[in-house]
């Protein structure tokens, strides 16, 4: 189960990210952020130790012009 984000924590994170958000906007954001965190917690259950992320860097990719 993911820890729920509180309005205070959201406000601190917003300030750290350089965002100037009004209190009412933070309140509006809170349910969506908590839903997003719950989703990540569900996804975490799918992963085994050796699972690498889908995004990959290729050292061979040198043809960008």
Partner 1 sequence: MTADDLSYLTISEAAAGLRRKEFSPLELTKACLTRIKAIDDKLHSFITLTADRALKQAREAEKELHSGNDRGPLHGIPIALKDLYATKGIRTTCHSAVLEHWIPDHDATAVAKLQEAGTILLGKLGMHEFAFGGPSVDAPFPAVRNPWNTAHIPGGSSSGSGAALAAALCYGALGSDTGGSIRTPSSHCGIVGIKPTYGRVSRRGVVPLSWSLDHAGPMARCVEDCALLLQAIAGYDAKDPASANVVVPDFRAGLRDGIKGLRVGVPRAGWFDENKGTDPETEAVFDQALKTLLELGATIVEIDGTPFSLARKANQTILVCEAYAYHEKTFQSTPEKFGSSVRRRILEGAFLSAADYITAQRARSVLNDQIRANFARVDVFATPSAARPPEAFESIDPNEQNLRPNFTNPFNLTGLPAISVPCGFTPGNLPAGLQIVARPFEEATCFRVAYAYEQATEWRKQRPPL
Contact residues toward partner 1 (CB under 8 A) are 5, 10, 13-14, 17-21, 28-29, 32-33, 35-37, 39-40, 42-44, 46-48, 51-55, 61, 63-65
Q: How far is the CB of 35 from partner 1 (least distance, A)?
A: 7
* Shorter beta-carbon distance to partner 1: residue 20 or 23: 20
Q: How far is the CB of 15 from partner 1 (least distance, A)?
A: 11
Burial of 37 (0-12, 13-18, 19+ CB in 10 A): middle
The rounded radius of gyration (Å) of the Cα atoms in the chain is 18
Separation of alpha carbons 46 and 26, rounded Å? 31
């Amino acid at each position: 189960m993911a820890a729920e984000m509180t309005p205070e924590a959201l406000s601190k994170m917003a300030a750290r990210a350089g965002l100037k958000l009004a209190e009412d906007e933070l309140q509006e954001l809170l349910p969506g952020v908590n839903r997003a965190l719950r989703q990540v917690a569900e996804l975490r259950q799918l992963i085994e130790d050796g699972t690498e992320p889908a995004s990959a860097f290729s050292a061979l990719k040198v043809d960008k012009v």
